[in-house]
Amino acid sequence: MSGKNLQEYWKKNLGYVAILLAIWFLVSYVFGIFLADSLNAVRIGGAKLGFWFAQQGSIYVFVVLIFVYVYLMNKLDNEYDVHEE
């Protein structure tokens, strides 16, 4: 694979990582901590939303984030022909 393609592959990977980590930060630190008090005005079932993100929601999102990354990278690996046999 040529150097240019490799750079492009790496750049796309970094783009995915940046977006997914931004969501990671948003659900745990922003929703679960910084804005928890304000979000607590809203409810999901019997739980205040900020509290729920800190004890439940963020964990669900974490799991989804990893599987989304797996999906995106498998596709990217094939596209740039760097996947393993």
Partner 1 sequence: MSVQTWTFLIVGLTFALYIGIAIWSRAGSTKEFYIAGGGVHPIANGMATAADWMSAASFISMAGLISFMGYDGGVFLMGWTGGYVLLALLLAPYLRKFGKFTVPDFIGDRYYSNVARTVAVICAIIVSFTYVAGQMRGVGVVFSRFLEVDINMGVYIGMAIVLIYAVLGGMKGITYTQVAQYCVLIFAYMVPALFISLTMTGNVIPQLGFIGTVEDGSGAYLLDKLDQLHRDLGFAEYTSGSKDMIDVFAITFALMVGTAGLPHVIVRFFTVPKVADARKSAGWALLFIAILYTTAPAVAAFARTNLINTVTNTEYAQMPDWFKKWEETALLAWVDKNNDGVIQYQKGAPFVGKPEQVRENGEAVRGQYGEVKITNAPSTDNANELYIDQDIMVLANPEIANLPAWVIALVAAGGLAAALSTAAGLLLVISTAVSRDLIKMQIKPNISEKAELWWARGGAAAAVLVAGYFGIHPPGFVAATVALAFGLAAASFFPAIVLGVFDKRMNREGAVSGMIVGILLMLYYMLKYKLGYFGGGGKDDWWFGISPEGFGTVAMVVNLIVSFTVSRLTAAPPQEVQDIVEDIRIPRGAGGAHAH
Binding residues for partner 1, rule: CB under 8 A, are 1, 6, 9-10, 13-14, 17, 20-21, 24, 28-29, 32-34, 36, 40, 44-48, 51-52, 54-56, 58-60, 62-63, 65-67, 69-70, 73-74, 77, 81-84
Residue 69 tokens read as 């990354």
Taking the complex as a whole, how short is the minimal distance between the CB of residue 70 and partner 1, in angstroms?
Answer: 5
Residue 17 tokens read as 């990582």
CA atoms within 13 A on the CB side of 27: 18
Taking the complex as a whole, how short is the minimal distance between the CB of residue 36 and partner 1, in angstroms?
Answer: 8
Distance CA 26, CA 32 (A): 8
Taking the complex as a whole, how short is the minimal distance between the CB of residue 32 and partner 1, in angstroms?
Answer: 6
Of the candidates 34, 27, 30, 83, which has an alpha carbon nearest to the alpha carbon of residue 60? 27
